[in-house]
Structure 1
């Protein structure tokens, strides 16, 4: 099978192939880059229609982890295949075939083999275009987020400076009033409430200053292992309440790094307290410290619900929280972000397979 007897038969096949190329070019030109599945299905169907024995043929496109079919795929088959490459790297393949019980390897026309190669190249170019656009959009979002955080940092720094003086005045005058009303218990209780509220507000201001990188820090070369261990030990009661196991692992017994020890404690404390909050009972939290030649990498993972994609770009913003009212100020992660920035480090988050969240912190060795 496979020979074209007449010139008319040959002409019909050329028309089918040219129609396929035209249709595919049209599909690609008008495709939705955010949903390519309909385009790939249309390409597969168009290719099937262009093959000599259309009714018997099947088409299979392997695109990364996805498969697209046209026609009935059988176990025993004869087929030809062309690789799909994206930026000169293997990405998938496109295959056309027939049932082995009716056809042999000689059934395929040279023109069909060339058509297959052409379509593989066109599909590769389409995927390249999508990946370029995806990367451009990701870069734009990251730049826009950095700009927003920079502006937010300037605003919060200004707010923090403006609030420091009146808060200091509230605390100072409250102390004077306590001396004046030393014998009035009700007045003293009210003054204690005022002072406690002012102290709480001052702590919020400190966190705002951490986010905006306005807090002074004392950098020194220290062994960070006991600092991280102590920060986690402070949370033992929290682990016990939910029967959570925390696995702390260091790549070396002594790891030295130039950091502000207090701020490093805050980073670990804030991230682990969040991990505890979102972890299920009897869950596991892993704190992994890896000393590498040019940087130190700190990974903190939990087994909670993870961070939904739609809110992932907001979690480092001040006052943004997914916790119920009264259970979180929304400043923990923004403080961590500010401290990492002041240490010229980075913080990223991802899904912790199979479930949960993973925060990766990188401290450069400076």
Structure 2
């Protein structure tokens, strides 16, 4: 429409064409406005829009007897086909556009064999079409990967929610028998204190019961996540409390802590104690993973209405194969780990409308865990 306005000097004699283009434009916009999103997303509909664009471009160029460089209009259609993010659809649109361009030139009455510029343009269109089709293929692959990760994370969320509901009931049922076992083991150790083997066995039973109680505590905490009390608080408060709790262990391992971004308030809406638990799990994981005498970093920042808290260490890192599994309940690479700390941190973040992201360049290169949570409005 703009081309016809710019190029036609005898617009009065071409009011029919101008009116037709105007009706076509307004009709297309109205159709896109009124049609449902499900139909807009269908390949045949969007393909038809692009091909119709190429046909309209050919008609206008035929009317206005254009300069040669205006064949770039076809490039707009070819480039636009990349928006479909679909390899086959982009290839079909580009191929049909090339054919339309060739036919429009053939109907001009000139011998195509004598026009080197035509064949050069055709080649450029073909190469552009191929490159954009490949780009669409790459984009589609990236979309599929994002969808796969989203589906996995959704399954993980459902699994954690289910585990949280079941955990409390299971923990309460097991806690009583475990206490009985621990008491009886202690009594037996006192009765048979002169028997070295019996004393050793009873002591081992007591230690294992203690380990089971730690796992039960984690399970109870996981169940408590589903009962969140929401209020507005400064995120720096649970950060400071979590840092204080891991300070003795960090000192024992002679770790250096680098803190940044804690100067200003970081207001969030949620459960302060749960957030302290999530941050504590991330810090505890970093302290345990860092090399003795190494470094743990906590970086805080606020961007686009979201707080980001990154905890990184200089430890052994996380193998690529384990990155996707690291948040699964009971998955752990540590000998004495329960595998519930990181999964609980993720679930807490999700209950607050956020998430936890894991990054590692590979084994021996450390790891970074970033908690992202919306800022309070």
Q: Shorter-chain-normalised TM-score: which range?
A: 0.5 to 0.7
Please say if 1:348 is aligned against 2:338.
no
Corresponding residue for 1:102? none
Q: How many residues align?
A: 263
CA shift at 1:305, angstroms? 4.6
Corresponding residue for 1:272? 283
Match for residue 315 of structure 1 among 326, 348, 354: 326
Equivalents in 2 of 1:285, 1:165: separation in Å?
A: 38
Relative distance call for 1:261 and 1:195 in structure 2 (3 A) is farther
CA shift at 1:347, angstroms? 1.1
CA shift at 1:209, angstroms? 4.4
1:286-325 residue pairs with structure 2 within 5 A? 286-292=297-303, 294-323=305-334
CA shift at 1:204, angstroms? 1.4
Relative distance call for 1:194 and 1:263 in structure 2 (3 A) is farther
1:145-224 residue pairs with structure 2 within 5 A? 145-151=153-159, 153-155=161-163, 157-158=165-166, 160-171=168-179, 184=191, 186=193, 197-211=208-222, 216-224=227-235
1:16-95 residue pairs with structure 2 within 5 A? 87=82
Corresponding residue for 1:77? none
Kept in 1: contact 2:323–2:359 (CA 8 A):
no
Please say if 1:361 is aligned against 2:377.
no
CA shift at 1:318, angstroms? 1.3
After alignment, is 298-307 or 347-356 more displaced? Answer: 347-356
CA shift at 1:188, angstroms? 10
String of CA shifts for 1:89-139, please: whole Å, max 9, x gaps: xxxxxxxxxxxxxxxxxxxx5334531342122111222123113312430
TM-score by length of 2: 0.56
1:220-231 residue pairs with structure 2 within 5 A? 220-231=231-242
Equivalents in 2 of 1:127, 1:290: separation in Å?
A: 34
Q: Equivalent residue of 1:258, what SS?
A: strand
Equivalents in 2 of 1:283, 1:173: separation in Å?
A: 40
CA shift at 1:320, angstroms? 0.9
Equivalents in 1 of 2:225, 2:274: separation in Å?
A: 13
Kept in 2: contact 1:345–1:362 (CA 8 A):
yes
Equivalents in 2 of 1:299, 1:289: separation in Å?
A: 6
Match for residue 136 of structure 2 among 121, 125, 128: 128
Relative distance call for 1:227 and 1:160 in structure 2 (3 A) is closer
Q: Which has the higher helix share?
A: 2
Equivalents in 2 of 1:313, 1:182: separation in Å?
A: 45
Kept in 1: contact 2:239–2:276 (CA 8 A):
yes
Please say if 1:336 is aligned against 2:338.
no
Q: Equivalent residue of 2:333, what SS?
A: coil
Q: Which has the higher strand share?
A: 1
Corresponding residue for 2:336? 327
CA shift at 1:237, angstroms? 4.1
Relative distance call for 1:198 and 1:284 in structure 2 (3 A) is closer
Corresponding residue for 2:255? 244
Query: Which sections of structure 2, spanning at least 5 residues, go unmatched?
Result: 1-74, 84-115
TM-score by length of 1: 0.58
**CA-based RMSD:** 4.0
Kept in 2: contact 1:297–1:360 (CA 8 A):
yes
Relative distance call for 1:117 and 1:303 in structure 2 (3 A) is farther
Equivalents in 2 of 1:301, 1:222: separation in Å?
A: 25
CA shift at 1:295, angstroms? 3.0
After alignment, is 292-301 or 190-199 more displaced? Answer: 190-199
